[in-house]
Structure 1
Amino acid sequence: MSSDTELHVPEEEAHGDLRRGFHHELDDIRDDIAKLGAIVTENIPRATDILLNQDLDGAEKLIVGDDEIDVAALALEERCYSLIALQAPVASDLRKVVAAMRIIAEVERSADLTKNLCKAARRIYGHPLNPAIRGIIQKMGDQATTLFKEATESYLAGDATRAAAIDDMDSYLDDLQREFMRTIFESHEAAKSSIDLQVAVQLAVVARFFERIGDHAVNIGERTQYLVTGLVRESLGAARHASRQAAGESE
C-alpha cells in the first residue's frame, strides 16, 4: 500500500456520525435542564417554609445557592449556541434547540423568584403573620410547586397533553393570589389584627412572586407543546377553538 494512501470515510457515514452526536448532546441538554428544573421545584417549598418561619439562615443559604443555578443555566445556553453554530440544525432539530433555550430562561427566572421570596422573608422578619395569611401562602407555595413539577416533567417526557393541562392548573394559583390580596388588605384595615403597611406591601409582592412562578411553568408547558407539535401559542389557541367548534357541531 502506498504511503500516500489516505483512509476515506464515506460522506454519508460522516454525516450520520455528526447527526448522532447532535441528538446525543441535545438529549443530554434536555436531561440537564430537567435536573435544573427539579432543583427549582425543590426550592419553591423551601422558600415557602423560609418565608413562613422567617428563617434568616435558610434564606441566606438559598440566596447564595442561586448563583450555582445561574452558572448552570448559562452553561446550558452556551451548549445550545454551540449546537447551532456547529450543526446548523433545521426544521424539528432547530425547534428542539430553540425550545430548550427558552425553557432554560424560564427555569432560571423561576429560580430568581425563589431567591426573591427569601429576600422578602428578611424584609418582614419580626412581623408575625396571622393564620389566614399563613394558610394562603402555604397554598400558593404548594400550587406553584405542583405547577413547576408538572412543567419540568412534561418537558422531560415530551408529553404535550400533560403540558397543555398546566394552563388550567395555573388558574387556581391566580385565584389564590386574588384571595391573598383581599386578605392582606382586610387584615390591614381590621382594628384588632392590623398589618403594618410596609409589611402589607411586601406580602403583596410575595403573592406576585408565586404567581410569576406559575406563569413560567405555563410558558414551559407551551414550549413543550411547541417542541412536540410545532405550534406556537397562538396556533395552539386556534387549534383548541377549532376543536371545540367541531365538538359542538357534532353534538
Structure 2
Amino acid sequence: MTETRRVFHEELDAIRSDVIRLGALAGEAIEAATNALLAADLAAVEKVVANDRVLDDLTHDMEQRTCLLLAQQQPMAADLRMLVTVLRVIHEIERIGDLMIKVAKAARRLYPHEIDPKIRGLIDRMRDQAAAQLRLAIEAFADRDVARAAALVDMDDVMDELQKELFQAIFSVRSPDDSTLQLAVQMALVGRFYERAGDHAANVADRVQFMVTGHFSFEPSNADG
C-alpha cells in the first residue's frame, strides 16, 4: 500500500469514528431535551441549545473533510459509497439534534404548567424509542450490518403507534382552559418531533443499506425537518 493510500484509509477510519461520535451526541441531546421538558428546567433548555453547537460544528467539519477526500482521492466502489453515505448520514443526525432543540424549547412555552402523568409517560416512551432507533442505526453503520439496518423499519412502526397514543391521550383531556389548550398544542408538536427523529434514524439505516450493497432496500422515510 502506498503512503497516499495509507493516509486515505486512516482518514476514512477517522471519519467513520466521527459518525459514531456524532450519533452519540445526538443521543445525548434526545436524553437532555426530554429531561428538560419533563422537569420544566429552563436552565437545562439553554444547555441543550448551547450543546447543539458542538454537534453542528462536528457535522460541518466532517462535511468538509469528506468532500476533500472525494476531490483528492477520487475513490471507487465501496470507499466511494462509504463517503457518499457519510455526507447523507451526518445531516440526518444533525437534524435529530435540531429537533431536540425544539423539544427542549417547548418547556419554555409550557412553563409553569405541569404535564399530565399519562402524557409524561408517553413522552418518556417516545424518548426511549427515538434513542433506541438512533442507536441501532449508528450500530448498523459502524458494523456495516444490513440486518440491523433493516430492523429499523419495524422499529419506526412502533414510533408511529406511540405518536397515535400520544394524540389520543392529548385529546382525552377535556378542559376549556386556555392553558390546557396550549399544553395540548405543544405536546402534539413534541410528539411530531420525536416521530421525525425516528424517521431520520430510519433514513440513516437506509443509507447503510446503500453503503453495503450499492442499492436501497427500502424507501427512505419522509422526514421533513
TM-score (norm 2): 0.92
Structure-2 change in CA distance of 1:191 and 1:107 (3 Å): closer
Contact 2:115 2:183 in 1 (8 A): no
The match for 1:228 among 212, 215, 221 is 212
- The 5 Å alignment of 1:70-85 reads 70-85=56-71
**4+ residue segments displaced more than 4 Å:** 191-195
Task: Report Cα offsets for 1:208-249 as digits up to 9, x if no partner.
Answer: 1100110011011111111111112xxx149xxxxxxxxxxx
Q: Does 1:53 align with 2:39?
A: yes
**2: distance between equivalents of 1:195 and 1:166?**
37
Q: Which has the larger radius of gyration?
A: 1
Structure 1 residue ranges without an equivalent (≥5): 1-12, 239-251
Question: Cα RMSD over matched residues?
Answer: 1.7
Report the CA distance between 1:86 and its aligned residue. 0.5
Task: Report Cα offsets for 1:99-125 as digits up to 9, x if no partner.
Answer: 011011011111111111111111111
Contact 2:206 2:218 in 1 (8 A): no
Match of 2:116 in 1: 130
- The 5 Å alignment of 1:61-210 reads 61-187=47-173, 190-191=174-175, 196-210=180-194
Please state whether the residue corresponding to 2:133 is helix, strand or coil: helix
Report the CA distance between 1:89 and its aligned residue. 1.5
Match of 1:245 in 2: none
* Equivalent AA in structure 1 for residue 156 of structure 2: D
Report the CA distance between 1:191 and its aligned residue. 4.3
**1: distance between equivalents of 2:218 and 2:149?**
14
* More moved, 206-215 vs 38-47: 38-47
Structure 2 residue ranges without an equivalent (≥5): 220-225
Instruction: State the aligned residue count.
Output: 219
Report the CA distance between 1:19 and its aligned residue. 2.3
**2: distance between equivalents of 1:134 and 1:237?**
33
